[in-house]
A and B are shown apart, each in its own frame.
Chain A
């Protein structure tokens, strides 16, 4: 694509893109750190992950303000307008993912009083899948790649299915051993946070499709006539 004739405008859009990627990279590493802190019972890492949230919140406010400034001064249209409106939504989802990484870290610290967890392969698969969803969503954003974004959206079904299986698995475990209820509920909460991260990664991917193709694919099934939500 050609660059804008007004170089200052081109630079502003470039800076916005860089800020979004910076925020995305930080959020991605927060998710990775929170998962590792849980699996390795690394409470110091969990606390450091919680502290990162300030930086994510600061970036959200900064990027929002930057978007408003560009909207007010440049009145972008077409792909630029889609990029700007998508950026406003991307930061919200990224900030929420950061919050969920904080929630995982808090739950990890809360579980310190319990004996070590038994192994949950489905939880490990969930963690791996949602991390790659977030990573790939950022890649799709950089490359403006709707095909990759579509693949991420499909991955969300895998995550939902894993969550459902894991939830029942932990439920059975708690019914068998009442002393494991605190541990079990902790695992279920962490699984729920991971599942929500998958939802936000899906939102990121949907925004990439809108940005690249100008097509809004959100809530497609529920918007069909005759369906209710």
Chain B
């Protein structure tokens, strides 16, 4: 068995053949297309903040039950892109969107689709841990349900299941009534992950989830991502290229609002096809 390849690379097809890779650096752009197990398909996605055109014709497939990383310098549009995936972009005043995003083949911008319901299917974890400070750990986990004015069938079971999935249960099971803000930063971030998981989403968007965490807490969240992708589709935005290399199966490099290259993480970090990707990931920013 070749242990250097992805767990099931046969599920995917890429138009980048061995022949094209690096032949003419910068000209052999990859256009990885996931033909099986596609959870989200983005087609010609464009986004604006006022007059600023921040995403330009982004087309890519997000593989189901895999982690896809978005990398690129600040302002490249990677956070905007994931905020388009759960329609958070449109809530910003002056923000506009054009294109198509299909979740399991359904257009998420269809007028009949309720964005609130969409956000239950496509959960999100933000850069800074943001538990509700006045709520207990238990109530933080159930916050999504409460905000929707609903009550799960078995709240205690859901709290335990979500905290276990977020690898936090053992640390908090005896203090569930304490405030969420009593936890360490890393624990708070895993609490936010548990809160997102309690809504039983299909996709988890993570916007720089470890940027405020120390290396130990970061390692725990990364370990968690490895476990979560067995059940969920994960899209992670990160400024840490090592993190993208460690946790993701696919990596997209965005620059100035354009998708420069999208390929398996292994290919991106060992033999990127595009010179701009090469320059960025090797630290040649001049």
Contact = CB atoms under 8 A, between A and B. Distances in A.
Given A2-B286, A214-B271, A79 B18 contact: no
Nearest to A83: B282
A5 B281 CA distance: 11
B58 interface: no
A158 B184 CA distance: 68
Given A77-B241, A214-B21, A215-B21, A2 B284 contact: yes
B272 interface: yes
A78 B269 contact: yes
B191 to A, nearest CB: 30
Contacts of A77: 241, 245, 269-270, 281-282
A47 interface: no
Interface string A68-83: 0000000111111110
A9 B282 CA distance: 10
Contact of A81 (B18, B270, B284): B270
A145 B286 CA distance: 25
Contacts of B270: 77-78, 81-82, 214
Nearest to A77: B269
B271 A82 contact: yes
A7 to B, nearest CB: 10
B130 to A, nearest CB: 30
A76 to B, nearest CB: 7
A1 interface: yes
A4 B278 CA distance: 11
Contacts of B281: 77-78
B282 A78 contact: yes
Size range of the interface on A?
Answer: 10 to 19
B150 interface: no
B279 interface: yes
Contacts of B271: 78, 82, 213-215
A1 B269 contact: no
A6 interface: yes
Interface in B239-286: 241-242, 245, 269-272, 277-279, 281-286
A6 B284 CA distance: 8
A9 B278 contact: no
A166 to B, nearest CB: 38
B22 interface: yes
Contacts of A9: 283
B286 A79 contact: no
Interface in A1-38: 1-6, 9
Contacts of B277: 78
Nearest to A2: B284
A164 to B, nearest CB: 33
A78 B273 CA distance: 10
Give the one of B242, B277, B282, B284 with max A CB within 10 A.
B282
Contacts of B22: 212-215
A215 B18 CA distance: 8
A5 B269 contact: no
Contacts of B284: 1-5
A37 to B, nearest CB: 43
Contact of B242 (A4, A6, A75): A75
A49 B22 CA distance: 41
Give the one of A2, A9, A81 with max B CB within 10 A.
A2
A78 B21 CA distance: 12
Interface in B1-53: 18, 21-23
A82 B281 CA distance: 13
Contacts of A6: 283
Interface in B45-73: none
Contact of A5 (B241, B245, B286): B286
A77 B244 CA distance: 12
B282 A4 contact: yes
Contacts of A215: 18, 21-22, 271
A130 B116 CA distance: 71
A78 B285 CA distance: 15
Which are the 4 A-B pairs with shortest beta-carbon distances? A214-B271, A2-B284, A5-B285, A77-B269
Given A77-B241, A215-B21, 4 more contacts: A6-B283, A75-B242, A77-B282, A79-B278
8 contacts: A4-B282, A5-B286, A6-B283, A78-B278, A81-B270, A214-B21, A214-B270, A215-B271
